[in-house]
Structure 1
């Protein structure tokens, strides 16, 4: 006797009623196809696995809006996989740009005017020490807003955080830096310690 598998429409209807086994059958049926599609788009196994997981997560998260095409869930999954892979690539590009934008100590020193006085050099050291107290995300945010002069909204988008969170983080970062500076420099004219950008 032949084992006839139920169609996607039947399994999807059961999934919507909360049947985890039906959803698992859909996952088993299409995981390989989705992974191969993700691998072609993302170009690596690790990224393809992330994209595949995200596509099935979106399938469940957006289940009320999912449409079957000719009784199949696969077209929706493939479109979602394409969009997820594209978003991953954009995120990686933004991350690369961010890392490239953060000044490296050697590059910053190479650009210093040799005529700088010892006083200005010690000021730079003290500001570097104040920056060292920041968490990595806060340091990247301060670098983008203060040193690269990006608007706060653009920096927030590059870091993948909300504008509100970026504003709060900038405020807290300034407070931490002020506390880390010697008392004589806390009210100095330092752009990193000025008020929040608008």
Structure 2
């Protein structure tokens, strides 16, 4: 059995019973979404890797305590990533501040690989966007990140955030309007997907 047609709920139940292979399927199914969400939260690919590891470690350790929303583990995983990123950010804030005070490294003249340049540019744009997003009220920020950045349905996100779906839609609308005012539209690196139908 490939696991493609098995619901997250069934895989989670098998993982609770000790099925490591079922948990591995859940990991394969959702790791990219959690990693991308973590990058959007941290603005750093390396930090996103650390946060993603924390999320799946927490999922394994707490698998018997977790109640899935609908049949998907993704809303819980993304909400856990949000909390893990907050904790990660707090624990590394002083270290990063000290690192930023160091003088920049001098270039050796070697050309950087195209992938590295792309990743650095992604991080620069994401940090700019995160500065704006972090100025949003917490409820608007969480709704925007779950629904527009990570593709969680409005219904599932409303359940995870413990609010009514119309309230969630209102938060997203306000967040979009605030972001539009905060960011220079000509240079804005926004990659927020179109609102879900």
Bigger proportion of residues as helix: 1
Larger radius of gyration between Structure 1 and Structure 2: 1
Which TM-score band (shorter chain)? 0.3 to 0.5
TM-score using structure 2 length: 0.46
